[in-house]
Amino acid sequence: MEIRVKQKRIDEERFLEMRKEVLAQWPTGKEVDLEEAVAYQLSLPESKNFMKVTEKARQEGETLIWPRAGTPVLEDEIALVKTLVDAGIRHIPVTIDSYTRLLQFEKAQQALEESIKTGRPMLNGYPIVNHGVKKTRKVVESVEAAFVPRGAGRLAMEIALASGMTAAGKSSLFEFGSYEKKTTLEECFEHSQYTDRLAGYYTERGAIISTDIHGLVPSGVFPFSVNIACIIIDSLVAAEQGVKSIMPQTHCLGHMAQDIAWMRLIPRLMREYLEKFGYKDVVVPGILANQIPLFPVPQGMGGAFAYLNYTAMVAALAEAEAVFVRTIDEGAGVATRESHALSYESANWILNVVRTQKIKCEIDGVETEEKVTDVEVRAILDKVLELGDGDVVIGSIKGVEAGVIDSPFSPNINIKDKVLGVKDVTGACRYLEFGNLPIPDEIKEFHREKIAERERAEGRKLDYQVAVEDLWALSKGRIVGAPSAS
Amino acid sequence: MKKQATVITGTVGMDAHVIGTKILSRALKDAGFNVVELGIQVSPEEFTEVAKKTKADAILMTSLYGMAELDLRGFKEKCKQAGLEDLILYIGGVLGVGRQDFKEVEKRFKKLGFERVYPPEANLESVIEDLWNDLRAKGKT
């Protein structure tokens, strides 16, 4: 099979040609004038620049809260972001609706019109393409905060950046591993190289656009090493296209020592690999901790508050620059504006109180977890680079085919799904099935011992049913899953 | 087992949530079923087409985004039109937007033609046991 995409910067002429096609996808594409947009970006205060806001938080020893903020009607969106800023929010991730994500702009238009007519939101996010640049600038100008579009495709990203949003939350492996059913990684790389190149274009002209990177996102009980390898791959891809500020996202899977170890390890390894491949001037402004596992169902307020604040606490102890917390309504669906405000107010309480104490946390196990994951990530990346003969893009495409990059819970049919994770006796995520992951033998043995320890403690074999029980653990107020009643 | 039963799994509608259907599919395979996994974002039409083509005995649908009821309007009739009256239909997951009384949810989906309706915390072993019983009752195994 011939692979079209490579780890190579898109040349300017070709990029400008590609842009014409992208901007023609919907009439609002005409509102994007790149030179005017760069000038607009340069006129914005530092309080709207993602990298500068993040760096300020780092210098001041603060952890910023990421909310989720996207509603279809413009006036409602403005009211929502004002509520968030009043609750102390300074990074605003704007969730884009599913139709826009799937480039169904006509459907999004109908649903937007219906939302305006009925006063009831018919879309699960902000249809940025339909609103276009002029209207979206009104959102950006309405508050002092840095905006990040979530789930933006190429045209959505064009509009977001021209509207004054200063980060591009999109990466190829994330799109491939979490949202797509049949799309190949090669196609996802083509998309993200475009949006990365766009961010690079602004950056070269003085308007620094950051990108935030997720990795493959196995949203379950699964050690994070595959994901960290993917975060590094996507960082290298973004850097090649001229991105100079890359913020990684980690997932808090609940085990404090692991979550903190991963938060420490990710920026360190990213800097090392960026340096190794010659991207020496790329900044990693911070780490974003993302709250992932299931929320209490049926919605229990005690558990919901405890869980979101536990995540805030772990992020504070890890001295993360930002934390993506869910609201107390997560278990029930879409949060009300009041729930947003209440949830962030309570997380901010924890963040302020803990960060002010400047606690240097020595938690047993952090060092071991960091070492184990470090070895695993390097082994995966070595194999990827070997498969690509030094080209990280080609290596990743081949790596997915070979199961060197794999995930147990991906919706994408192109992912092998030969791997599985469960928790050990203390609630740390361990590999139960390694598939074709190139994990070194001594590390495999470490995982097997941890699995055997839990098997002895519970007097049963660990299997997929246990993986399911573990998935439920945190929503039931436990760190390790309990056998469910048959 | 007299005959290996064929069952279809998938997440219905525009829903991209995958974990439920993946784990369920695996449990079914381990229990000896021939599983046709359709993955995420499966339209009701795809379910019925594949059921006809594979002569499936049951469909086990999952849903998390709360809109399955909209996706499945008229599903019972579609199955009848396709000559699939005999097909066993199960669904499980978060089956409504916001807080829900499960008894009400169960009633709504039974009306849509589902023999069994499961809440998100359903135990897979009991689901598979129910499936064996229902297959046996219909003389399919």
Tell me the domain boundaries of chain A.
Answer: 12-356
Give the model's pLDDT for residue A397: 95
Q: Does B124 touch chain A (CB under 8 A)?
A: yes
Question: CA–CA separation, A341 vs A89, rounded Å?
Answer: 10
Give the model's pLDDT for residue A181: 84
B120 vs chain A: nearest CA distance in angstroms? 8
Active site residue B15: yes
Q: pLDDT confidence of B64, banded at 50, 70, 90? A: confident
What element of type H or E holds A247?
Answer: strand A245-252
Which range is least confidently modeled, A386-400, A415-429, A466-480? Answer: A466-480
Question: CA–CA separation, A485 vs A401, rounded Å?
Answer: 39
Q: Does B30 touch chain A (CB under 8 A)?
A: yes
Q: Which two tokens stand for residue A22?
A: 């992208």
Question: CA–CA separation, A110 vs A93, rounded Å?
Answer: 24
pLDDT digits (tens, 9 = 90+) for A364-401: 999 999 999 999 999 999 999 999 999 999 999 999 99
pLDDT digits (tens, 9 = 90+) for A110-147: 889 988 998 877 777 899 999 999 999 999 999 999 99
Within 10 angstroms of residue A39's Cβ, the number of other Cβ atoms is 13
**Is the peptide bond prior to A298 cis by the omega test (within 30 degrees of 0)?**
yes
Domain topology for A12-356: TIM Barrel (3.20.20)
Give the model's pLDDT for residue A486: 40
Give the model's pLDDT for residue A120: 74
DSSP code, position A155: H
Which of residues A465 and B135 earns the better pLDDT score?
Answer: B135
Q: pLDDT confidence of A149, banded at 50, 70, 90? A: very high
A420 vs chain B: nearest CA distance in angstroms? 10
DSSP code, position B62: E
Give the model's pLDDT for residue A400: 95
Q: Is A181's CB within 8 Å of B39's CB?
A: yes
Give the model's pLDDT for residue A198: 97
- The residues that bridge with A245 in the sheet, in sequence order, are A210, A283
Instruction: Give the number of beta-carbon pairs within 8 Å between A and B.
Output: 52
Q: Which two tokens stand for residue A134?
A: 């002029």
Q: Is the pLDDT of residue A30 over 50?
A: yes
Give the model's pLDDT for residue B124: 85
Q: pLDDT confidence of A413, banded at 50, 70, 90? A: confident
Q: Which residues contact A93 (CB under 8 A, 6 or more apart)?
A: A66, A67, A68, A69, A147, A148, A149, A150, A169, A324
Give the model's pLDDT for residue A332: 65
Q: Is B98's CB within 8 Å of A464's CB?
A: no
Residues, chain B: 141
Question: CA–CA separation, A158 vs A26, rounded Å?
Answer: 12
pLDDT digits (tens, 9 = 90+) for A268-277: 999 999 999 9
Q: Is the ipTM of this complex over 0.90?
A: no
Q: Is B22's CB within 8 Å of A472's CB?
A: no
Domains along the sequence of chain B with CATH:
6-137 (3.40.50.280)
Residue type present at position A376: E
DSSP code, position B12: B
Residue type present at position A18: M
Question: Given phi > 0 = left and psi -120 to 50 = alpha, else beta, which region is B41?
Answer: left
Reduce the DSSP state of residue A250 to 3 states and report it: strand
As a whole number, the mean pLDDT across chain B is 89
Active site residue B17: yes
Q: Is the pLDDT of residue A484 over 80?
A: no
Question: CA–CA separation, A432 vs A71, rounded Å?
Answer: 40
Q: Which residues contact A166 (CB under 8 A, 6 or more apart)?
A: A41, A44, A48, A49, A50, A51, A146, A147, A148, A207, A208, A209, A210
- Report A:404-423 residues touching B (Cβ under 8 A): 408-411, 413, 417
Which residues in chain A are contacts of B98 at CB distance < 8 A? 332-334
- The residues that bridge with A426 in the sheet, in sequence order, are none
Q: What are phi and psi of A251, to 5 degrees?
A: -110, 130
| One-character DSSP codes across A263-283 | HHHHHHHHHHHHHHTT-TT-B
Structure pTM?
Answer: 0.89
pLDDT digits (tens, 9 = 90+) for B102-129: 888 899 999 999 999 998 878 888 999 9
B11 vs chain A: nearest CA distance in angstroms? 10
- The residues that bridge with B42 in the sheet, in sequence order, are B12
> What is the average per-residue pLDDT within B84-93?
93
Best CA proximity match to A340, nearest among A77, A145, A149: A77
Q: Angle formed by the axes of helices A366-387 and A441-458, to 10°?
A: 130
B20 vs chain A: nearest CA distance in angstroms? 9
Q: Does B97 touch chain A (CB under 8 A)?
A: yes
Q: Among B121, B124, B130, pick the best mutation site for testing chain A contact (most A Cβ within 10 A).
A: B121
Which residue bears the tokens 């007299």? B2
Which residues in chain A are contacts of B40 at CB distance < 8 A? 181, 411
Which residues in chain A are contacts of B41 at CB distance < 8 A? 181, 411
pLDDT digits (tens, 9 = 90+) for A438-447: 999 999 999 9
pLDDT digits (tens, 9 = 90+) for A56-102: 999 999 999 999 888 899 999 999 999 999 988 999 999 898 788 88
Question: CA–CA separation, B59 vs B8, rounded Å?
Answer: 5
Sheet holding A210-213, edge to edge: A64-66, A322-324, A288-291, A245-252, A210-213, A167-168
